[in-house]
């Protein structure tokens, strides 16, 4: 379906997007290696540095960075195309964490000098950011945090504990949300800042999820990414944008999983017939296809909204709808893929398990289907 | 015919969408009476003929027909707009087979003689058509139909019976698929015939449905006759003719309209019972809202393809599956929300207001059966889109 909608884009962008997709697909075709996927599990940084270097070489880390900051200045439609293709090869870590959530948090902040200092380096592939906005209980409320920032005479002192930090494995610095009075500010904290401690929890797919403990970490006032006036809105917007981009990656994961399953159904013979000829399985897999297409359709609607002038409430509601669908579709397709493959899928050697576990990770991050239903409902009542 | 052709000579497709929509709205508001809006059952000819003829006079009855036959020659994009505005105002379906099905078939595959004979009478309402396809032993497996037509001299003699023929009691003509060769593969021995129902050999028996309405019928053909010139296309090529559905009709079956209507009933019932504040209900309602909105996104993608002059394959079947099964889930929650009143027929009182709970539920059961059942749609998708083996 996403391919269908590539064709709906205006004018010359159709051809550019087609080429971008072909280029990304090509990259994945010569890079994907699930032996490597298995080997890099539970090892920092959680992805292949050489792969990330190649991606930076292609400029994709700067897709969502405006040209004046050294990025490609493209849009969410383009980022979604790249993420979907990378998702098919389980090669998207840590793109969304660093090059969507990281760059967009910076961009939506109100510190021009810091943007100048950091964004060009990020676009160049020499600086890797990660965002620490959640705390122990998780959840989607970016204002429900205890980490505190205190203004001293010439600096800001930050203390607290952040959790569920994605893309931290080799991050050079963190955008940390902290409470200043009643408001939320965002601060750039270098990885080697004194008082910053990092430990890891490991996610189902073997990628790291960091816990940051800040004990009186001191940063310059010039390191304030977003002042308390705009901090909450900035991080909420970045979260919505990232959630939609995670949908794109999830669409890639689910497409690859479904394709793998269909191919298995065509070739696996039992009882003298390919199992794909059994109607019970045909009907069940059609329902998976329907979910895949629905996820693609709402993803396209969400990226179009993000690329246009979008009202905050509509953006948030659409991001929730997209994430809910992507999570449910992605997990359902992955679960059923295991079922359809039978016993072999329970073996680690079979790739299906890798996709199931990535789907689990993408579903849990930035709000699963249930959380987004709740958020959508409360946003709708507030409207 | 001349008067109609004059009015539809306007170049409607040249209007921008907003302007066209305004014209569509103006026409409907002027001509569609309140009592025909959002009817709970299919409108009868007697009830809707003024509306039908008003549309015919201006070309709106057959917007998809070419201008030279009395239509507006609208692009699918403009047709979509017209249908949206009709749906918004709950316009009745009524006697649609001529305008929607037979007309386009005759235009595409009939002879000029057949077009001259039959198309004007569709526009004038003199001929009202029903579709004789399904039989007691041929539903999903329509190709196994057994109603036979035997050529004797210049006439076909037809014997057999049709079932689920919608509004046959309101029609005076039927187009039917009949068997004309029993020696070949079943699809290869079917012909498409037009039959005048006003003859002794055609008997219509309306069937009471579970909604308590008469809509579908049995039609018994006992040595019914039709002239050989009423064969559409070649002998034994009826199956292909009947399968030629245009792009617009294919997405129409999967439009969000049933779901949107059902949701309004559900939300009202939830408000009136207080369930609208229950967190468990809210979660289930939100899921259904997502299901309908996502359907809308998918529908929009297919519609956009049509607008751009593109075409799509059998993947469009996913719309019907999702739209109809979602509508059922909505009406199931409606029954549950109504609690004790979930077993009451008709407009149920909730305080001073009323909601019909059971009728939407029963009507939604039909959706996954007619127009190609959900199971048949899945068979189609599985073979043709997912390339799974038979």
- Co-location of A219 and A274 in the same domain: no
Q: Which residues of chain A have a CB within 8 Å of the CB of B263?
A: none
Choose the closest CB to A293 out of B293, B318, B388.
B318
- Co-location of A223 and A171 in the same domain: yes
Q: Which residues contact B63 (CB under 8 A, 6 or more apart)?
A: B12, B71, B72, B74, B78, B79, B82
pLDDT score recorded for residue A383: 61
The CATH fold assigned to B129-237 is Butyryl-CoA Dehydrogenase, subunit A; domain 2 (2.40.110)
Cβ–Cβ gap B382/A376 under 8 Å: no
Residue B342 CB-density burial (10 A; 0-12 exposed, 13-18 middle, 19+ buried): middle
Q: Which residues of chain A have a CB within 8 Å of the CB of B315?
A: 293
Single residue among A82, A102, A124 that ends a domain in this structure: A124
Single residue among A124, A153, A180 that ends a domain in this structure: A124
- Co-location of A102 and A209 in the same domain: no
Residue A188 and residue A223 in contact, taking contact as beta carbons nearer than 8 Å: yes
Interface check for A50 against chain B (CB to CB < 8 A): the answer is no
Q: Give the helix, strand, coil percentages of chain B, each rounded to 5.
A: 55, 15, 30
- Co-location of A238 and A355 in the same domain: yes
CB atoms within 10 A of CB B306: 20
Q: Give the helix, strand, coil percentages of chain A, each rounded to 5.
A: 55, 15, 25
Tens of each residue's pLDDT in chain B, 390 residues: 444 455 556 789 889 989 999 999 999 999 999 999 999 889 999 999 999 999 999 889 999 899 999 999 998 888 889 988 998 899 998 778 999 899 999 999 999 999 999 999 999 999 999 999 999 999 999 999 999 999 999 999 999 999 999 999 999 999 999 999 999 999 999 999 999 999 999 999 999 999 999 999 999 999 999 999 999 999 999 999 988 766 667 788 899 989 999 999 999 999 999 999 999 999 999 999 999 999 999 999 998 888 788 888 999 999 999 999 999 999 999 999 999 999 999 999 999 999 999 999 999 999 999 988 999 999 999 999 999 999
How far is it, in rounded angstroms, from Cα A297 to Cα A251? 10
In chain B, which residue's Cα lies nearest the Cα of A3? B301
* Residue that has been written with the tokens 């497709």 in this structure: B13
Cβ–Cβ gap A294/B301 under 8 Å: no
Q: How many domains does chain A have?
A: 3
In chain B, which residue's Cα lies nearest the Cα of A10? B308
Q: Which residues of chain B have a CB within 8 Å of the CB of A276?
A: 388-389
Alpha-carbon separation of residue B326 from B96, B134, B359 (angstroms): 26, 26, 16
pLDDT score recorded for residue B249: 73
Its pTM stands at: 0.93
Among A residues 331-370, those touching chain B with beta carbons less than 8 Å apart: 370
Interface check for A298 against chain B (CB to CB < 8 A): the answer is yes
- Co-location of A64 and A12 in the same domain: yes
* Residue that has been written with the tokens 């529908």 in this structure: B299
- Co-location of A175 and A190 in the same domain: yes
pLDDT score recorded for residue A2: 45
Q: H or E segment at A291? A: helix A279-307
- Co-location of A170 and A260 in the same domain: no
Q: What class has domain B247-385?
A: mainly alpha
Single residue among A229, A246, A280 that ends a domain in this structure: A229
- Co-location of A307 and A357 in the same domain: yes
Coil, helix or strand for B222? strand
**What does the domain layout of chain B look like in residue ranges?**
2-94, 129-237, 247-385
- Co-location of A268 and A286 in the same domain: yes
Q: What is the dihedral of CA A231, A237, A241, A244, to 10 degrees?
A: 120
Q: Which residues contact B290 (CB under 8 A, 6 or more apart)?
A: A321, A324, A325, A373, A376
pLDDT score recorded for residue A70: 93
pLDDT score recorded for residue A259: 98
pLDDT score recorded for residue A45: 97
pLDDT score recorded for residue A271: 95
- Co-location of A181 and A207 in the same domain: yes
How far is it, in rounded angstroms, from Cα B251 to Cα B306? 10
pLDDT score recorded for residue B252: 84
Residue A171 sits in a domain of what CATH number?
Answer: 2.40.110.10
Among B residues 278-307, those touching chain A with beta carbons less than 8 Å apart: 282-283, 285-287, 289-290, 293-295, 297-298, 300-301, 304-305
| Strand A129-132 to A173-180 pairing | parallel
- Co-location of A154 and A115 in the same domain: no
A33: containing domain: 2-124
- Co-location of A117 and A225 in the same domain: no
pLDDT score recorded for residue A117: 96
Report mean pLDDT in 10-residue bins for chain A, 383 residues. 48 88 98 97 97 96 96 97 98 98 98 96 96 97 97 96 98 97 96 98 98 98 97 98 98 98 98 97 98 98 95 96 98 98 96 98 98 96 72
ipTM of the complex as predicted = 0.92
A220-235: string of b/e by CB count within 10 Å (b at 16+)? eeebbbbbbebbbebb
Q: Which residues contact B235 (CB under 8 A, 6 or more apart)?
A: B180, B181, B191
Report CA A332 to chain centroid distance, whole Å: 19
Question: How many angstroms away from the CA of B117 is the closest CA of chain A?
Answer: 42
Cβ–Cβ gap A298/B297 under 8 Å: yes
Choose the closest CB to A4 out of B290, B301, B322.
B301
pLDDT score recorded for residue B95: 77
């Amino acid at each position: 379906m996403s391919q269908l909608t590539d064709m709906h884009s205006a004018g010359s962008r159709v051809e550019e997007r087609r080429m971008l997709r072909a280029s990304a697909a090509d990259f994945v075709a010569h890079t994907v290696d699930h032996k490597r996927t298995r080997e890099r599990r539970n090892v920092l940084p959680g992805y292949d540095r050489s792969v990330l270097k190649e991606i930076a070489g292609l400029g994709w880390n700067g897709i969502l960075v405006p040209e004046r900051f050294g990025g490609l200045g493209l849009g969410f439609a383009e980022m979604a195309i790249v993420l979907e293709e990378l998702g098919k090869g389980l090669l998207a870590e840590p793109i969304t964490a660093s090059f969507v959530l990281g760059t967009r948090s910076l961009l939506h902040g109100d510190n021009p000098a810091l943007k100048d200092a950091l964004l060009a380096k990020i676009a160049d592939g020499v600086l890797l950011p990660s965002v620490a906005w959640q705390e122990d209980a998780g959840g989607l409320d970016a204002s429900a945090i205890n980490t505190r920032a205190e203004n001293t005479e010439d600096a800001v002192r930050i203390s607290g504990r952040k959790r569920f930090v994605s893309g931290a494995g080799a991050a050079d610095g963190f955008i940390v949300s902290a409470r200043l009075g009643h408001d939320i500010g965002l601060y750039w904290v270098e990885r080697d800042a004194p008082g910053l401690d990092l430990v890891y929890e490991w996610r189902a797919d073997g990628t790291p999820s960091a816990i940051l403990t800040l004990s009186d970490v001191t940063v310059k006032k010039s390191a304030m990414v977003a002042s308390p006036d705009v901090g909450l809105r900035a991080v909420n917007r970045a979260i919505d944008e990232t959630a939609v981009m995670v949908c794109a990656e999830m669409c890639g994961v689910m497409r690859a999983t479904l394709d793998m399953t269909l191919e298995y159904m065509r070739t696996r013979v039992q009882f003298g017939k390919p199992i794909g000829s059994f109607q019970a399985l045909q009907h069940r897999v059609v329902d998976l296809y329907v979910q895949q297409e629905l996820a693609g359709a709402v993803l396209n609607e969400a990226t179009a909204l993000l690329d246009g002038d979008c009202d905050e409430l509509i953006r948030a509601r659409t991001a929730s709808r997209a994430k809910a669908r992507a999570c449910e579709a992605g997990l359902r397709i992955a679960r059923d893929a295991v079922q359809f493959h039978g016993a072999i899928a329970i073996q680690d050697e079979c790739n299906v398990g890798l996709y199931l576990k990535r789907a689990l990770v993408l579903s849990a991050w930035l709000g699963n289907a249930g959380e987004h239903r709740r958020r959508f409902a409360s946003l709708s009542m507030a409207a | 015919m001349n008067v109609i052709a004059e009015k539809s000579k306007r170049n409607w497709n040249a209007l921008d969408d907003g302007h066209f929509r305004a014209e569509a709205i103006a026409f409907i508001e002027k001509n569609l009476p309140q009592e025909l809006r959002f009817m709970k059952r299919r409108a009868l000819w007697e009830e809707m003929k003024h509306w039908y003829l008003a549309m015919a006079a201006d070309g709106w009855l057959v917007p998809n027909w070419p201008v030279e036959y009395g239509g507006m020659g609208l692009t699918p994009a403009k047709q979509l707009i017209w249908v949206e505005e009709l749906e918004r105002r709950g316009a009745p379906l009524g006697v649609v087979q001529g305008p929607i099905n037979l007309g386009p078939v005759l235009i595409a595959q009939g002879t000029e003689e057949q077009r001259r004979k039959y198309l004007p009478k569709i526009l004038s309402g003199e001929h009202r058509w029903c579709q004789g396809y399904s039989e007691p032993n041929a539903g999903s497996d329509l190709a196994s139909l057994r109603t036979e037509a035997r050529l004797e001299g210049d006439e076909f003699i037809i014997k057999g019976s049709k079932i689920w023929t919608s509004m046959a009691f309101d029609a005076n003509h039927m187009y039917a698929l009949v068997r004309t060769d029993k020696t070949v593969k079943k699809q290869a021995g079917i012909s498409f015939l037009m039959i005048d129902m006003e003859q002794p050999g055609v008997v219509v028996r309306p069937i009471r449905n579970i909604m308590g309405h008469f809509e579908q019928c049995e039609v018994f053909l006992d040595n019914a006759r039709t002239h050989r010139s009423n064969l559409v296309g070649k002998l034994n090529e009826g199956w292909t003719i009947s399968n030629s559905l245009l792009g617009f009709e294919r997405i129409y079956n999967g439009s969000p309209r049933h779901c949107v209507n059902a949701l309004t009933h559900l939300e009202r019932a939830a408000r009136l019972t207080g369930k609208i504040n229950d967190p468990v209900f809210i979660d289930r309602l939100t899921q259904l809202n997502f299901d309908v909105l996502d359907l809308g996104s998918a529908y929009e993608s297919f519609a956009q393809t049509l607008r751009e002059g593109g075409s799509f394959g059998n993947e469009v079947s996913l719309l019907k599956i999702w739209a109809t099964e979602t509508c059922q889930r909505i009406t199931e929650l409606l029954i549950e929300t109504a609690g004790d009143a979930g077993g009451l027929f008709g407009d149920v009182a909730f305080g001073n207001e009323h909601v019909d709970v059971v009728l939407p539920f029963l009507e939604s059961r039909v959706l996954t059966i007619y127009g190609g059942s959900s199971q048949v749609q899945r068979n189609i998708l599985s073979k043709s889109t997912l390339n799974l083996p038979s």
